[in-house]
C-alpha cells in the first residue's frame, strides 16, 4: 500500500516539478519569440510599415559621404535589415520588414548618402568598419529614407553570387 501511494505521489509531483523548471528556464525566449510572431502577424495584415526596434552597440565614429547613384537590391537582400536611423547612432533603432516595404530585387534604389561606421570589437578590442547607405525606393510615394548595409545593394562591378 505504501509503495502504491509513493508511486502515485511521485507521478503527480515529478511532472509538475519538471513543467515548472522548463517553463521558467525558457520564459524569456518563448515570450520574445511569441511577441515577434505577433508583430509579424500584425504587420502583414496592415498596409502600413510596422517597425520593430533593435538595441545594437554604439558606433565609436561615423564618417558621412555624399553619393548619388541608382541601383537594385542584391538577390539576398532579405537576409539583411533595413533601418530608420543609421545603426549605432541611436539607442533604439527601428527595423522595418522588407515585405511591408513592397520591394523586390528588381526595385530601383536611389542612394544619396554613405556612412562608414566604426565599431569596437568586444573580443579583441580592435575596430571594425561597416558601410551603410541611405536609400529611397522607386516605388515609394513618399520620400522616406532608410539605412541599409552594404550587402543589401547590388554592386555592378562585383559578381553578385560571390557573397
Sequence-distant (≥ 6) Cβ neighbours of residue 73 within 8 angstroms: 103, 104, 105, 106, 107, 109, 152, 153, 154
List per-residue pLDDT tens for the chain, 163 residues long. 666 767 766 666 555 555 555 444 444 444 433 333 333 333 332 334 445 555 567 888 999 999 999 999 999 999 999 999 998 888 889 999 999 998 999 889 999 999 999 888 878 888 888 899 999 987 666 789 999 999 999 875 344 444 3
Map grid coordinates 533603432 to a residue: 93
What pTM does this model have? 0.60
Report the distance separating Cα 65 and Cα 140, nearest Å. Answer: 24
Residue whose C-alpha cell is 520574445: 32
Q: Are strands 93-96 and 146-149 parallel, antiparallel or unpaired?
A: unpaired
Q: Name the nearest CA neighbour of 154 among 77, 99, 83.
A: 77
For residue 122, the tally of other CB atoms under 10 A from its CB is: 7
Amino acid at each position: 500500500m505504501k509503495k502504491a501511494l509513493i508511486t502515485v505521489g511521485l507521478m503527480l509531483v515529478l511532472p509538475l516539478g519538471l513543467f515548472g523548471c522548463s517553463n521558467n528556464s525558457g520564459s524569456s525566449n518563448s515570450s520574445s519569440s511569441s511577441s515577434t510572431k505577433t508583430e509579424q502577424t500584425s504587420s502583414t495584415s496592415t498596409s502600413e510599415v510596422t517597425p520593430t526596434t533593435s538595441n545594437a552597440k554604439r558606433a565609436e565614429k561615423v564618417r558621412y559621404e555624399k553619393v548619388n547613384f541608382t541601383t537594385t537590391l542584391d538577390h539576398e537582400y532579405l537576409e539583411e535589415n533595413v533601418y530608420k536611423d543609421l545603426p549605432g547612432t541611436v539607442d533604439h533603432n527601428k527595423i522595418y520588414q522588407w515585405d511591408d516595404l513592397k520591394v523586390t530585387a528588381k526595385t530601383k534604389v536611389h542612394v544619396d548618402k554613405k556612412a562608414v561606421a566604426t565599431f569596437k570589437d568586444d573580443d579583441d578590442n580592435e575596430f571594425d568598419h561597416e558601410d551603410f547607405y541611405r536609400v529611397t525606393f522607386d516605388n515609394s510615394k513618399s520620400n522616406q529614407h532608410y539605412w541599409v548595409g552594404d550587402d543589401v545593394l547590388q554592386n555592378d562591378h562585383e559578381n553578385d553570387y560571390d557573397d
